[in-house]
Structure 1
Amino acid sequence: MLLWRSALLLAGIALLGLVFQPFFGWAVTFLIILAGMAGMLIYHLRNLHRLSRWLDDPTPQSMPEAMGSWDAVYSKLYRMVRAQGKNQRMLSAALDRFVAAGEAMPEGVVVLDEEDRIEWCNPRSMEHLGLDRTKDLGQHIAYLVRQPAFQQYLLNQDYSQPIILRHVAGNNFVLSLQLVPFDSTRKLLLTRDITQLERIQTVHRDFVANVSHELRTPLTVVGGFLETLLDMPDLDSATRDAQLKLMFEQTQRMQRLVEDLLTLSRLENGLEGRDERVDATALLQQLASDAEGLSQGRHSISVSQETDLCVRGNYDELHSAFGNLVSNAIRYTPDGGQIKLCWKLDNSQPVFFVTDTGLGVEAQHIPRLTERFYRVDRGRSRTTGGTGLGLAIVKHIAQRHQAKLDIKSEIGTGSCFAIIFPANRLLDVEEAIFAR
């Protein structure tokens, strides 16, 4: 457009000179044409200068004004700058959203260039890998993550599967790392903390191993005696009766284990029972009767009831939890020892606890007593007939009732196991009558 307008203007100047040539001669005509061309040149140079100055800071607000053919040029440039500014704002907003999303991600994200140098990283990756965004940008990732497995992972360039690293940068994390190429030059390094998942898998493996171990002994005993009975049909009745008694005891042990496993599975899967009014007085009397039956007169058993208020809960679950605490006290208290069952209020909170004068537990074992199959003394636990799941069941039942299991114990003195309920589980007399 500018070229055509300039050409037409030059043609107009030349035509004007030819019109005046008969009157003024060729010299004047030449000067008129030359003056017109000079004027055009000055006009274009002036606009080029203004354009050059504007290009140093090309904003729509500072766009020069022009007339004639340059007005069309500036108008087109104005529209282009406006469109470019809009695109830049959109790209900037998209980049801000990407950065904000990366910053908020629960996994670590590191952007690497084609040379595996760090271009950007989010806070979680800094936590996982010990990176410092203020000084590590531009550093090769292999200089900062120095574990041989990761170095080999980079060299192999096979990123189809993640790798597992432990104790990166002195941390106790178990990390899953995977490189993901996302264009021709860049890669994402994704880090994920799988410490808890690893711990759960370890617990599951230990659980299966413990169950297998607990079932193997009674199955071996029963299988051995059955083999003896089959091989020796003329075995004397006294020996046969003794073996049958032992087999019965071992099958009872397996039955208790299976029942405890089913109970624990139901509790962990959240299959909650219906809340109801639980008469603490009647429950305490039932527990005392159960304790006398288990003790067979070998212990001194006492009951202390400081309140007759009831609680809101599931009777069967609470009977199971309290019963486990009572049976543990009887199993681990030597003959002649004392066992006390108590129901009281403590700071408006209902509390059930069992104290004994048994062997006691060392302090370092107490935090782990509620783990499945955790035993302070495996030999002693098997002798007493425990399954290793009782306190795990108690803990889950307490949690389902928003209660807390509190354990205090001293070696040679005895133990106290208490379940402390929240005050909102307490029912006064009117509420207890209404809840019937």
Structure 2
Amino acid sequence: MSWLLPRVVMAVLSVLLGTAIGIWLERWLKTPFIAEVFSAASAVASLMLVDSIRAHRLMQWLRGSQLDTAPRDSGWWGELAYRVERAVRDREKTIARERTQLDQFLSAIEASPNGVMMLDELDQIHWCNRVAADHFSLDPQRDLRQRVTNLVRSPAFVAFLQAGQFGKPLILNNVRGLGTLSVVVRRYGEGMTLVLSQDITERERADAMRRDFVANVSHEIRTPLTVLGGFIETMSSLPLTEAEQRRVLILMGQQTQRMQSLVSDLLTLAQLEGSPRPAPDRWVALDTLLLRLNSDALALSAGRHQIHIQMDTQIELAGVESELLSAAANLVTNAVRYTPDGGVVDVHWRLLSDGSGELSVNDTGPGISREHLPRLTERFYRVDGSRSRETGGTGLGLSIVKHVLQRHGGELHIESEPGKGSKFQLVFPAVRIRRLGETPLGVESAMSSPLEH
């Protein structure tokens, strides 16, 4: 009520002013009635004049930007201006706070790995984040207020949006010329539409690889099972001679061994993918591994090849012995199997200039065409399927080699040309190599590798 006293004072002053004017007029005009009327009118007019000036100043401030302070008048108008200014400042703080919250919310959506697009009641783009713009080839600023169906011309997307049946996600292929999108649409607010998009290309590829893997495993196992079933039926239904029975049993043993090898390789892959990275402080003598490789290669070759394996490296490797042996044995076994009689299989070790080491397996086999090299480590990929099965391969050997090298921080390099043989190189990082009796270069860096997938 601080404005009441100034208001009363102003009213009293107005009355006094009016009275003074009335007394003056009465003396001048000698008419009491007219003097009284002018006295009252003068009091009211003076009060209205002061109020009008103050009201005009307040209205001018309200019509402006309200960045400066409101008029600081006394009395009722001063109180009113103060209240109005405080209400305006409170409103500005509320708007700023809500704008900050909105900006934070939009920033969170912008950071989302999924696309978010908001459409109004006319299906015009109200807002979208960068991911959605990338998914649908849009410009987040230029395409605002544009009808989305005029910009995204995919017939499946347009039909899905117009149908209004959003119970299931829409799968779009090649929206940007590549990849697969999963699109979810939801209605919200008053006629607004929320479009959520997710790039599921990798998931689709993984699903396809899993389906292919299951199909390949089923096919690889079905073939020897079919052969075994046929032999069993033959032995039970036909009177075979002793020589014929012996031949059938040998073939059945071969098919059984083939299935056992396949299951063993599958279990090895599963163990490699599901176990932790090998510790960098468990050292394996490379010469011991090479000695075992030499014995296995000689037994498999049975004198049909020239086998040269370096067995005096004085090197130790940090890792799991069984995994390292498996990787090297797969390469040596393949070299012996695919090299024609009289060919040469050479295995040697060398240190590289950067401190890393390379175990190289060379053969004089038929070689491999360039277009096959990038896919050699894929599961069940075969350059010549019929020949691979004849040699007893499961199609998983090089995949096992790749996984072992990745787990040990190394790389697998393949060089081959038709008619010039093949060269497979197991490259190990320097931190996993030491000479006998030496201190390793370090253990921490051996725990990480950019090749790990």
TM, length-normalised to structure 1 = 0.92
CA contact (8 A) 1:280 1:343 kept: no
Q: Which stretch has the larger CA shift, 364-373 or 63-72?
A: 63-72
Partner residue, 1:158 = 165
Partner residue, 2:358 = 351
Partner residue, 2:149 = 142
**Alignment of 1:387 onto 2:394:** yes
Secondary structure class of the residue paired with 2:176:
helix
Secondary structure class of the residue paired with 1:420:
strand
What is the deviation of 1:59?
2.4
CA contact (8 A) 2:19 2:40 kept: no
Which whole-Å deviations, capped at 9, do the CAs of 1:2-23 have from their partners, x for residues lacking one?
Answer: 9999899779967997999899
Equivalents in 1 of 2:290, 2:101: separation in Å? 66
Partner residue, 1:77 = 84
Secondary structure class of the residue paired with 2:380:
coil
CA contact (8 A) 1:17 1:30 kept: no
Identify which of 20, 23, 38 aligns with 1:31. 38
Following superposition of structure 1 onto structure 2, how do residues 185-196 of structure 1 map, counting pairs within 5 Å? 185-196=191-202
AA of the residue aligned to 1:343: W
AA of the residue aligned to 2:234: T
**Alignment of 1:177 onto 2:180:** no
What is the deviation of 1:385?
0.8
CA contact (8 A) 2:283 2:318 kept: yes
Partner residue, 2:60 = 53
Which whole-Å deviations, capped at 9, do the CAs of 1:156-202 have from their partners, x for residues lacking one?
Answer: 212232211111133x1211111232322322211111111111000
Equivalents in 2 of 1:56, 1:109: separation in Å? 39
Secondary structure class of the residue paired with 2:68:
helix
Structure 1: runs of 5+ lacking an equivalent = none
TM, length-normalised to structure 2 = 0.89
Equivalents in 2 of 1:124, 1:4: separation in Å? 64
Identify which of 397, 406, 428 aligns with 2:404. 397
Q: Which stretch has the larger CA shift, 1-10 or 116-125?
A: 1-10
Equivalents in 1 of 2:176, 2:362: separation in Å? 47
Structure 1 segments (4+ residues) deviating >3 Å: 1-24, 271-275
| CA-based RMSD | 2.6
Equivalents in 1 of 2:396, 2:229: separation in Å? 25
Identity among equivalent pairs (%): 43
Following superposition of structure 1 onto structure 2, how do residues 29-428 of structure 1 map, counting pairs within 5 Å? 29-59=36-66, 61-170=68-177, 172-232=178-238, 234-272=239-277, 276-305=282-311, 307-347=313-353, 348-428=355-435
Equivalents in 1 of 2:191, 2:270: separation in Å? 51
Secondary structure class of the residue paired with 1:229:
helix
Partner residue, 2:444 = none
Equivalents in 2 of 1:304, 1:431: separation in Å? 21
How many correspondences in the alignment? 431
Alpha carbons of structure 1 residues 10 and 64: separation in structure 2 relative to 1, 3 Å: closer
Structure 2: runs of 5+ lacking an equivalent = 27-31, 441-453
AA of the residue aligned to 1:389: L
Q: Which stretch has the larger CA shift, 202-211 or 309-318?
A: 309-318
CA contact (8 A) 2:22 2:38 kept: no
